[in-house]
Structures are given as C-alpha cells and as structure tokens.
Structure 1
Amino acid sequence: MWDQREIALSPRPRGFHRVTDEIVAGMPRLPECRMGLVHLQLLHTSASLTLNESADPDVRHDMDAFLRDLVPGELPYFRHTLEGDDDMPAHVAASLFGTQLTVAVREGRLALGTWQGIWLGEHRDHGGTRRLIVTLQGSRT
C-alpha cells in the first residue's frame, strides 16, 4: 500500500516542539499498515525535523538553548539578512538537523522507542504554519 498526504502543522514559537500526535492524526491509513515506513519531508528551509527524547520537556528546552548558543543571530559574516536576524541562523539549524525523517511502522503504529517522539524544530521567531509531505509505504498483511 501507498498513501501520501500533506499535513499542516500549527504555528509555533521558536524552539523544539513534539509533533508526533499531530502527524499521526494526519495519517488516517496508518492503522491499516502492518509493516512499512513513513517518510516525512518538511517543505521549509528554516525549520527541521528530528527524533529525540519526548517525555521530559527540559530536553527540548536544553536543545534550543544549545542551538541558540551554537548558531546565534546577528553574526557579522551573514549576508542573507533581508528577512531578519533570525533567518540565516534558521537555515543553518535546518541544515544541521535536517528536514526529513523516515520512521518504521509496525502493527499500524509508528515504531518509536519508549522515550522517542518526533520534534519540529522551529528556528524562526515567527515561522508560521509548517507543511509536511507524509508518505506511507507498507503492507497490510
């Protein structure tokens, strides 16, 4: 079976946000899939997707704090500044984390580890709605 959908993720402030439930809700055929893969492709260059610890929100806070230290705004050598001081750092962060994920499917569910969740890294101060292409491939039996 194959299924492909576009999912719009609600706007979020800058930082890392757990979006697993929002993605699963946008995949109505997931329960039909016994074994397969879900490929997620974020259609933006200033946000990212990653898989990480999902139980403790301090992990998302700490990841954002580390990233802001690693890629601060207003660096004197950035030329791409017309869209604001947060834009070029957002592109760097999106490239570091990536904009695609592939997750295994087992028995109609995402095969995530006990503590894992899918995160949206919103790297702009006001990024707006983020869109994903979600492709499900697998077998029903």
Structure 2
Amino acid sequence: MNNSEDWSIMGVLTRQLQYETQANIDMVNITSDVAGTIKNSGIKNGIITVFTPGSTAAVTTIEYEPGLIYDFSQTLEKIAPSDVEYQHDKKWNDGNGFSHIRASLLGQSETFPIIEGELANGQWQQIVLINLDNRPRYRELILQIYGE
C-alpha cells in the first residue's frame, strides 16, 4: 500500500523570545506569546515545542492563579528545599543546587498540538516559564513549530 499521496509538505519555524525574571520561582505566563507565535506562523496543523535553555529554568503548565502559584512554590520547597546543603553548592559556591534539582524535575520543554491554527490547550491550562535560580535572570525561550 502506498500512502505517499497522503503526505503534505511540512515546514519548521523557529522563534526566540526573551524574558526578564526575578529570583526564586518567578513564574511567567507565556500562553499568549505562544498562541500569538502560532497565529503569526501560518501553520494550521502540527505541533509546537516550547523550550528554555539552561539548567535552572523550566517550562510546564498550570492553572495560573495566585493560589496554585503559591501551592506550587510550597511544594517545590518540600521536594527540593532551599535551606539544605547540596554537593553542587560545595563545588561552585553559588547556593543554587536546589534550583538545578527543581529544574531537572520539571523539565525544560513542553510540546503542544496545533489544530486549525490554534494552540490546543485546556481552558484552565496555561503555559509557564519558571526561573528557579536564586538570582534574577534573563531567560530565553525557543519556540519551534513543525507543521503545515
């Protein structure tokens, strides 16, 4: 069976954004930036990967509201406390061992479907970039769209 006629021409589009973030779990709602990038891309169906380079930042989803933002911060403090001694801190003396652990647990990317030119996320599901470092940072976000 030959399905080659079912394939459409696919393209890849890459965009980079930058954000200024504060220290210690600064969560930035990037949903509208991601959705806007999709709309401006001309891609109707495919996927978008949202990635942040760096080992003390993360990308995830959450219902972006003050209660959950607080709960998220408190949960991370229980999982990877900021007030314990990490071997990383002994080696580098930068005090952000907990930041690296948190970022590794959350991950630096998420991928979402694009359907009919729209970001396919849930009504209460926002995409967030999180600076987990113990100091303010400029964070880069790489958006890569693959589709038709």
Question: TM-score, with normalisation over the residues of structure 2?
Answer: 0.81
TM-superposed deviation, 1:111? 0.7
Matches of 1:75 and 1:14, distance apart in 2: 15
Q: What is residue 50 of structure 2 aligned with on the other side? A: 40
Question: Identical aligned pairs, as a percentage?
Answer: 22
TM-superposed deviation, 1:5? 1.7
- Partner amino acid for 1:111? A
Higher strand share: 1
Q: Alpha-carbon deviations, 1:47-89, whole Å to 9, x = none?
A: 11101213x221111101110122112423x12113532x110
**Residue segments in structure 1 that go unaligned for 5+ positions in a row:** none
Which one has a bigger Cα radius of gyration? 2
Q: How many residues align?
A: 135
Which of residues 64, 67, 73 in structure 1 aligns to 2:73?
64
Q: What is residue 100 of structure 2 aligned with on the other side? A: 91
Matches of 1:11 and 1:129, distance apart in 2: 6
Matches of 1:99 and 1:19, distance apart in 2: 14
- Partner amino acid for 1:44? G
Question: TM-score, with normalisation over the residues of structure 1?
Answer: 0.84
Runs of 4+ in 1 over 4 A off after TM superposition: 25-28
TM-superposed deviation, 1:26? 5.0
Matches of 1:28 and 1:53, distance apart in 2: 22
